[in-house]
Structure 1
Amino acid sequence: MKLSKETTKIQRMFSSIAPRYDLLNRILSIGRDRYWRRFAVSQLPESGIFLDVATGTGDIAIEILKRHSSDVRVIGIDFSDAMLDSGEKKIKRLGYQRYIHLCLGDVSFLPFRDETFDGAIIAFGIRNLPDYRHGIQEMARVVRPNGKVIILEFTNIHSRLFRQPYYLYLTKVLPLIGEIISGRKGAYRYLSQSVLDFPNPEELREIMQSTGLRDVKYHLLTFGITAVHVGIKQ
């Protein structure tokens, strides 16, 4: 797997925080990340073969198994060995090895044939890709016609009531807590900045449409802190 210099830097950063990644997600989202994932997963069909892009420690893949029928298979792909190792341990502990397979790979160039999956989902990973549009195109490529492409991601809040507190939390509180728990000074500063730099929900909807996805809609969750975008392959 050959990654660009910038992607390699991000890969190393995620690998460095892998041991505390799940704990930090719970704390920094005040437990809301579970609800966000459940909502995103609920947009998938009840059965099929699904791709979890940038699976990390496998939370989305596991959620799919918990919320759907037993007639489900999930492949999760990520560029961090350390994240995947954590995910494999969770999957084994839950007894989901038959249903979930995790693999190492570059999510910008998915190593799967066209029209392989019934749906593809990415949670909190699209903003880490060097080219958002290309990443979405790759997800659409490997999904069968009428299959769904789903993106769960943080947003820039535009509500006057919540904008300033949210900005303060992103730029001051989140990096400080992240540093204290993970011991990594720069990792959560990067994550905060990546949220601020990410397209707003309407812009992301337009990017998804430009890849050929149809009926693209989005749902704002928890005062607009996150958004779930859903598009259908032609």
Structure 2
Amino acid sequence: MTASQERPPHGVVDEFDAAAGSYDRLVGANPGYHRHLALSARRLRLPDDGRGLRLLDAGCGTGASTAALLRAAPRAHIVAVDGSAEMLARARRKPWPVTVEFVHARLDELTDAGITGPFDGILAAYLVRNLPDVEAGLATLLALLRPGAGLAVHEYSVRGRIPARLMWSAVCWSVIIPAGRVATGRADLYRYLWRSVLDFDSTAEFRQRMRAAGFTDVRSSRMTGWQRGIVHTFLGHRPVPAPGRAR
């Protein structure tokens, strides 16, 4: 199932490539953007600062979510992947410890890029809504986790909440879309962003979608500030096989 039927004419990845040069500046103007990513990473509750853990940042963009995961688990090995070569190039130019590696690949190309599980935790920030097939994407993320490990999906969801939808549209058309047009000379990506959020699942629908994909202990939590009721952390875990059953 397609998350949004109205996609940029050149494709989502191409639009992210075109916006890469101004992306950090635009999201940096969003109050709470980095703080909320850090909150979703902390909600994975990774033990011992991530010592000995192998983590995946799925859809890392220019590295903001990677930095959030690194703050939550500074001793972990982090594999950060993205389908946009230009966004990934921006991420790689930033200072990182040797425990962070970046890989250019879409989610369905990870095996071909040499990335396989199991991972001890996955953060997927603003990724799932942009996937051409959400169910297939969730199945891939589930398969990458070790049994018992958690996925944190950091994502917009406003369906069914009129105040949140109105706030989202007002911010998009008064700030995000005009700023994006000024910064990049085009607004396709930002109009797509607005519409894709309106089209995406409600929180209850996405929790059910995660359960249908096989995740257990599925729940969601809100953010603070103007994005309260707009951005959420969705958490779920790969089931642990019952004793005596095949893994």
Instruction: Name the TM tier (shorter chain).
Output: 0.7 to 0.9
Q: Describe the shift of the 1:19–1:6 C-alpha distance in structure 2 as closer, same or farther (beyond 3 A).
A: closer
Question: 1:225 is matched with which residue?
Answer: 230
Tell me if structure 2 keeps the 8 A contact 1:14–1:83. Answer: yes
Judge conservation of contact 1:110–1:138 (CA < 8 Å) in 2.
Answer: no
Tell me what 2:33 maps to: 33
User: Whole-Å Cα distance in 2 between the matches of residues 186 and 160 of structure 1?
Assistant: 25
2:172 aligned residue: 170
Tell me: higher relative CO, structure 1 or 2? Use CA pairs within 8 A at least 6 residues apart: 2
SS at match of 2:11: helix
1:79 counterpart = 2:74: no
Which AA in structure 1 matches 2:88? L
Residue number in structure 2 paired with 1:137: 139
* Alignment partner, residue 193 of structure 1: 195
Deviations 1:100-128 (A, max 9, x none): 11011121343233x42101111011111
Q: What corresponds to 2:64 in structure 1?
A: 59
Alpha-carbon displacement from aligned partner over 1:180-208 (angstroms, at most 9, x marks no partner)? 12222212111111111111111110000
Task: Name the amino acid aligned to 1:226.
Answer: V
Q: Secondary structure at the match of 1:174?
A: helix
Partner of 2:4: none
Contact 2:85 2:104 (C-alpha < 8 Å) held by counterparts: yes
Q: Deviations over 1:117-148 (max 9, x none)?
A: 10111101111101111111101101100000
State which of 81, 89, 93 in structure 2 corresponds to 1:89.
93
Structure 2 counterpart of 1:110: 110
In the TM superposition, residue 55 of structure 1 has moved relative to its aligned partner by 0.8
Aligned partner of 2:244 in structure 1 is none
Q: Is 1:49 matched up with 2:48?
A: no
Q: CA deviation at 1:161?
A: 4.5
Q: How much does 1:8 deviate?
A: 6.8
Task: Tell me if structure 1 keeps the 8 A contact 2:160–2:202.
Answer: no
Distance 1:79 1:162, change over 3 A: closer
CA gap 1:79/1:233 in 2 versus in 1, 3 angstroms:
same
- What is the letter of the counterpart of residue 118 of structure 2? T
Could you say what the CA RMSD is over the residues aligned between the two structures, in angstroms?
Answer: 2.1
* Number of residue pairs matched by the alignment: 222
Instruction: State whether residues 223 and 231 of structure 2, in contact with CA within 8 Å, keep that contact through their aligned partners in structure 1.
Output: yes
**Aligned residue identity for 1:156:** V
SS in 1 for 2:108: coil
Contact 1:218 1:228 survives alignment (8 Å): yes
* Pair 1:144–1:186, CA change in 2 (3 A): same
Cα displacement (A) at 1:160: 4.8
Cross-structure match for 1:100: 100
What is the percentage of aligned positions where both structures have the same residue? 25
Aligned amino acid, residue 59 of structure 2: A
Q: Under a length normalisation based on structure 2, what TM-score does the superposition of the two structures give?
A: 0.83
Instruction: Identify unmatched segments of 5+ residues in structure 2.
Output: 1-6, 240-247
TM-score (norm 1): 0.88
Map of 1:206 onto structure 2:
208
Letter in structure 1 aligned against 2:136:
H
